[in-house]
C-alpha cells in the first residue's frame, strides 16, 4: 500500500473498532492487528490512538455539519426542513459507525464534547432561519436560539432512538418530525413573545 492508502485503511479499522467498543475499549494493538501491520506503523501515521481517534471524529463532524448546512441553506419551506431531517436520518443510516462514535462519549444536552458542540453548530444555522420565520409571524426573533435548540434537540434524540429501532422508514420518521415541528411553529400562541415579561410579573 502507499502511505495514503495505509492511512485510510487504519482510519477505517479504527472507525469500526471505536464504534463497537468506544475509545477506552479500543487498543493500538487491536487496530494494528486488524490492519495487518505493526504498532509502530499506527504511531507513524497518527502519533497514537488519540491522534487516530481525533481524525476519525473530525471527519464525522465535517461530514454531518456539511450535510446539515447544505440542506438548511436553501428555501425556508416545510419541504426544505423535511429534506434536512431526511438527510440527517440518512446520514445515521449510512454512517452508523460514525454516528455511534459521535454520540458515544458525549452528552448532547451538556453542550460539552464533540456531539454537543456539533449540535450547537447546527442550531446556530437553524437560528437564522427561525429568526426570519418568527419575525414574519409577528413573534420576537430573539426567541430563535431557544426554538433552534428545541428543534435540533428533538431531531437529534429521535435520530439516536431510530438508530436502534430502524422503524418506521426514515422518510416517515422525518415527515412526522417535521409535522410536529412545523405545525407547532405555525400555531405559536400570538402572545408567546410576551411570556417572558408575564413570567416576571
Structural domain boundaries of the chain? 3-47, 59-200
Per the prediction, the chain carries an average pLDDT of 81
pLDDT at 30: 96
Please state the rounded mean pLDDT for residues 73-96. 78
Of 15, 11, 10, the C-alpha closest to 99 is 15
Please state the rounded mean pLDDT for residues 148-169. 86
The fold of 3-47 is Arc Repressor Mutant, subunit A (1.10.10)
**Cα–Cα dist 130/133, whole Å:** 5
Q: Is the peptide bond before 168 cis (omega within 30 degrees of 0)?
A: yes
Q: Which residue has the higher pLDDT, 96 or 107?
A: 96
Query: In CATH terms, are 3-47 and 59-200 the same topology?
Result: no
Express each pLDDT in 144-156 by its tens digit.
898 888 888 888 8
Residue 101 banded pLDDT, cuts 50, 70, 90: confident
pLDDT at 11: 96
The H-or-E segment that residue 101 falls in is helix 96-104
pLDDT at 89: 84
The fold of 59-200 is Tetracycline Repressor; domain 2 (1.10.357)
Q: Would you say residue 109 has pLDDT above 50?
A: no
Amino acid at each position: 500500500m502507499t502511505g495514503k492508502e495505509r492511512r485510510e485503511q487504519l482510519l477505517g479499522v479504527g472507525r469500526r473498532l471505536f464504534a463497537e467498543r468506544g475509545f477506552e475499549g479500543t487498543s493500538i494493538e487491536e487496530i494494528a492487528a486488524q490492519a495487518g501491520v505493526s504498532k509502530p506503523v499506527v504511531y507513524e501515521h497518527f502519533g497514537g490512538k488519540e491522534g487516530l481517534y481525533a481524525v476519525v471524529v473530525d471527519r464525522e463532524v465535517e461530514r454531518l455539519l456539511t450535510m446539515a448546512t447544505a440542506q438548511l441553506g436553501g428555501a425556508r419551506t416545510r419541504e426544505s426542513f423535511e429534506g434536512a431531517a431526511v438527510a440527517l436520518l440518512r446520514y445515521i443510516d449510512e454512517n452508523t459507525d460514525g454516528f455511534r462514535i459521535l454520540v458515544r462519549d458525549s452528552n448532547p444536552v451538556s453542550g460539552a464534547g464533540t456531539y454537543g458542540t456539533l449540535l450547537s453548530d447546527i442550531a446556530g444555522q437553524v437560528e437564522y432561519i427561525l429568526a426570519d420565520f418568527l419575525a414574519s409571524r409577528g413573534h420576537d426573533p430573539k426567541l430563535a436560539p431557544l426554538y433552534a435548540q428545541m428543534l435540533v434537540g428533538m431531531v437529534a434524540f429521535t435520530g439516536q432512538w431510530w438508530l436502534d429501532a430502524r422503524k418506521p422508514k426514515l422518510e416517515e420518521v422525518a415527515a412526522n418530525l417535521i409535522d410536529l415541528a412545523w405545525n407547532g411553529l405555525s400555531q405559536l400562541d400570538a402572545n408567546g413573545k410576551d411570556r417572558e415579561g408575564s413570567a416576571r410579573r
